[in-house]
């Protein structure tokens, strides 16, 4: 907390110095990499085009400073409804939050301004909260929504052998309806981020692998967007690479669907679109791809087909998942 407060106050002092010269300007790093801090954009009150963005940044910086000094937290939604005339939309305050993260070189979770969690979890797991509450998955009639602030989870208790992350809520629900915990041998925790994962979901997967020493597997669609989601869990978002350490799970094991399996699916595959091919090229330009992942992306380019997890849903729990885990068929 001390370093964050020091950085916030440094930014405030720089702004005051600029104001003394009639220059109401804040600098926001353009590139999320901490090694490229010289690349930044100027957000200034002096320009009508960026005046509102400047006001939101000052507002957000002051809120974060207050939270760091006094403790507590806010939600993005709560901030919006607290002053909707100033903020105008939740998307604007969410973008301002991300800009402040870039300025402070920290993750959104560290600010104390949180987005509502969308991740779901089920299985052998109990979350012991810092306030004494216990979130026990076994007591829920359905899946358990992850807490908005994962740092309020004091510790995680589980007898699970592994974590299984699935890309989509529809697959998550389908697995539960098929009694996945009775079908697959061994105890495990099932998690979904409902598509592109939020920070809370990524943090929970990270903590389960680091603190509970559980291997984690992921199941995504065999298309470039599914592969990108896998990479976000593993290496982080390209727009938030400055906050990767506490959110990423580099040991995450990709069990499927693999593009190299598409030819065997027959009618379960469909043609790639223009957006798919652009996304493939964007992913291939990344410098953090493992050789196996790069090879699978090349396979997508070659076959020009994609497939969803649902194409193997009928034998997912009886054969596909157990076979991949037991035979170490992951990338």
3-state helix/strand/coil string of the chain? CHHHHHHHHHHHHHHHHHHHCCCCEEEEECCCCHHHCCCEEEEECCCHHHHHHHHHHHHHHHHHHHHHHHCCCEEHHHHHHHCHHHHCCHHHHHHHHHHHHHHHCCCHHHHCEECCCCCEEEECCEEEECCCCEEEHHHCCCCEECCCCHHHEEEEECCCCEEEEECCHHHHHHHHHCCHHHHCCCCEEEEECCCCCCHHHHHHHHHHHHCCCCCEEEECCECHHHHHHHHHHHHCCHHHHHHCCCCCCCCCEEEECCHHHHHHHHHHEEECCHHHHHHHHHHHCCCCCCHHHHHHHHHHHHHCEEECHHHHHHHHHHHHHHHHHHCCCCC
Collect all residues with Cβ–Cβ distance below 8 Å to 232 and sequence separation of at least 6: 196, 197, 202
> Which residue, 269, 250, 265, is CA-closest to 316?
265
Pairing type for strands 162-166 and 126-129 reads unpaired
Q: Which two tokens stand for residue 120?
A: 């779901």
Active site residue 196: no
Q: Is residue 265 within 8 Å of 277, Cβ to Cβ? A: no
Q: How far lies 89's CA from each of 176, 210, 239, in Å?
A: 36, 37, 21
- List 45, 81, 196, 320, catalytic entry: 81
Positions marked catalytic? 81
């Amino acid at each position: 907390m001390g370093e964050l407060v020091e950085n916030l106050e440094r930014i405030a002092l720089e702004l005051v110095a600029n104001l003394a010269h009639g220059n109401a300007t804040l600098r926001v790093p353009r590139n999320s990499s901490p090694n490229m801090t010289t690349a930044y954009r100027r957000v200034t009150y002096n320009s009508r085009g960026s005046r509102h963005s400047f006001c939101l940044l000052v507002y957000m910086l002051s809120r974060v400073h207050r939270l760091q000094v006094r403790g507590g937290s806010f939600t993005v939604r709560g901030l919006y409804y607290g002053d909707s005339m100033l903020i105008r939309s939740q998307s604007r305050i969410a973008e301002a939050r991300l800009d402040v993260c870039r300025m402070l070189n920290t993750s959104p979770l560290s600010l104390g301004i949180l987005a509502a969690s969308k991740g779901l979890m089920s299985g052998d797991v109990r979350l012991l909260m810092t306030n004494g509450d216990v979130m026990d998955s076994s007591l829920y009639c359905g899946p358990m929504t992850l807490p908005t602030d994962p740092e309020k989870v004091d510790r995680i208790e589980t007898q699970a052998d592994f974590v299984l992350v699935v890309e989509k809520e529809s697959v998550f629900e389908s697995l539960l309806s098929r009694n996945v915990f009775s079908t697959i041998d061994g105890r495990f925790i099932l998690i979904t981020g409902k598509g592109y994962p939020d920070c809370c979901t990524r943090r929970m997967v990270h903590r389960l692998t680091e603190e509970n020493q559980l291997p984690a597997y992921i199941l995504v669609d065999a298309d470039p967007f599914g592969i990108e989601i896998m990479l976000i869990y593993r290496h982080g978002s390209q727009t938030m690479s400055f906050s990767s350490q506490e959110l990423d799970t580099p040991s995450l094991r990709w069990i499927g669907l693999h593009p190299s399996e598409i030819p065997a699916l027959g009618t379960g595959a469909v043609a790639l679109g223009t957006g798919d091919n652009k996304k493939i090229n964007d992913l291939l330009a990344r410098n953090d791809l493992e050789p196996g992942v790069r090879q699978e992306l090349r396979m997508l380019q070659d076959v020009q087909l994609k497939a969803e997890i649902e194409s193997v849903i009928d034998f997912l729990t009886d054969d596909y998942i157990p076979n991949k885990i037991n035979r170490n068929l992951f990338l």
